[in-house]
Each structure stands twice: as C-alpha cells, then as structure tokens.
Chain A
Amino acid sequence: MKARVHVMLKNGVLDPQGEAVRHALGAMGFDKVEGVRQGKVIDLDLAEGTTEADVTEMCEKLLANTVIESYSIEMV
C-alpha cells in the first residue's frame, strides 16, 4: 500500500519561491496567475496494515513542521 503526503506552507507564511514562480509566469505572459504556493509531495511505500493514524504521526514528528506547514494525507 501507499500513501501520498502533501506538505504546504500555511496560509500567512511567506512563500518566496512561490512568489518567484508567479513573477516568472507573469513575465512569460501568463497574466492570469494571481498567486502561486509551492509545496512538497512525499510518496510512502507502506507495509500492509499501516494506518492513516501511523502516517499522521510521521507527519507530526518529521514530514511536516507544523509551526510553518500544513499537511494532508491520501491513502492510495
């Protein structure tokens, strides 16, 4: 089984990389882009029986820094 974890900077935390991407898109003529937030996707290969609660614990302890980041988990 697999899980996919999305980690994003929380709203209100400046994302200078996303902002740089937005600027670049604007400079290329994509003038409808009003904001860009850049995050991470982490794919986990998991042994059978691993629960979403286990993945939540991994997120809380390591995969995300909840001071600045939020996360979401997809069990697939």
Chain B
Amino acid sequence: MKAAVVVFPGSNCDRDLAVAFEQAGFDVSMVWHKDSTLPADVDIVGVPGGFSYGDYLRCGAIAAQSPICQAVVDHANRGGYAIGICNGFQILTETGILPGALLRNAGLKYICRTVDLKVETSSSVFTEGYSAGDVIGIPIAHHDGNYFADDKTVAALQDQDRIAFTYVDNPNGSVADIAGILSENRRVLGMMPHPERAADEGHGGTDGTAVFRALAGMVTTA
C-alpha cells in the first residue's frame, strides 16, 4: 500500500500525516508542490494541513493551481483515493474535487482545541472503522473552517449520505454543522478536524486512528 503526502510551502501537518499513514502500514512518499506527477502506483494521496502559500488570496487558492494539484485532480478523476485535512480540505474544494468552500470562522477567531465530532456515515473507506452516531474527540486548528455550500449542494450531500462528520457543538458556523464531506464516488474525504493529531497515545487521544486503519487494505490503486 502506497500513500503520497503533498508538501506545499507553508504545509505544517505533512509529517504528522505521513506518520499516521505509516502507522497504518502504508509506504509513504512526500511529494513537492512543483512536481507534476504522483509516484507510480499510489493508492491514496494525502493533502495536509498548514498554511500553503501563506493563505494568500484565499486559503488553498494558490495551492490548488500548483502543478501537483493537477496530478491530484487527475488521480481523483480516475477514481483514486484522497484525503484532505484542514488546509488540505480547503485546497480540495478550491480544485473543485469537493463541493463548497471554507469561509472565515463565524466568530472571526482562530480556534485550536479538541472538539466532539459525530460520525454521520460509516459507508466509506475512511469511516468504516466507526459506527454511524459515534462521537469522537478530534482536534481542530483553523481560522477558516466555516463550511459553506448553497442549499442545493447541502441537500445533495445529505441525500447521498456524503456528510462524513458533523460538529456536536458547531465551533465555526459551518452550514449544517458539517466538519467533513465525501466525494460523489466516496473515495475523497475532506475534513477540517485533524485525525492525524489524534492517532497516538502521546497526542492525548487516539480517536482518529480508525480513519487510517480503515484505509489500510481497503484502497486500491487507480
């Protein structure tokens, strides 16, 4: 099983994400933003958190136009698996792989704490290690995590069971309490909370481990 973690100038969760993949049994390669291709036979691409390009213009906007992101779009379009966390979620929405956008937190403050998430669906390779309705503690660390999509898009996400996680106590104003969503083919997950920061006893919690453990053995090369 091979994972690739994309590294942008300003990424700061890339190594944490690599460790989480490694602990789940993946061979991990780090891919620089100027590369225009992913390593051969990559099963899953991780787009990490951080502040790519200093969040200039909009969070994730410039990263989404980088050479590697075209390769990530192609990978997703041919049915490849990908996970975008925090800034990675913002980047995946900017590329159009996932619908909607992330706005400034409704309270205007950067929020860094562990929050309760409700698992909304176990029907994906990312969430099948949980049961729908489980409440898990996962850290958030963002200033622009306020998920927005128009009513039609939110209704489609709900109807197609594509909301992966919701906030139990909405910290940032996200529409429908959305914390994470799946692509139409359920092979791409974007989420603002950081499961890779709850994947080791030393983190103070391991509720995020199941995301990576479920992935192991489930993903297939596209």
Contacts and interface: CB of A to CB of B under 8 A. Distances in A.
A75 B67 CA distance: 30
B149 interface: yes
Given A62-B57, A62-B65, A67-B93, A16 B101 contact: no
Contacts of A13: 103, 148
A14 B144 CA distance: 13
Q: Is the interface of B mostly helix, strand, loop or mixed?
A: loop
B33 to A, nearest CB: 16
Contacts of B108: 16-17, 20
A63 interface: yes
Contact of B65 (A16, A61, A67, A68): A61
B187 interface: no
A14 B106 contact: yes
A27 to B, nearest CB: 15
Contacts of A14: 103, 106, 146, 148, 173
A65 interface: yes
A65 B149 CA distance: 12
Most chain A CB atoms below 10 A, which of B93, B104, B105: B104
Interface string B134-161: 0000000000001011100000000000
B186 interface: no
Contacts of A16: 103-108, 146, 173
> Closest 6 A-B residue pairs measured CB to CB?
A67-B101, A68-B101, A16-B108, A16-B106, A65-B101, A16-B104
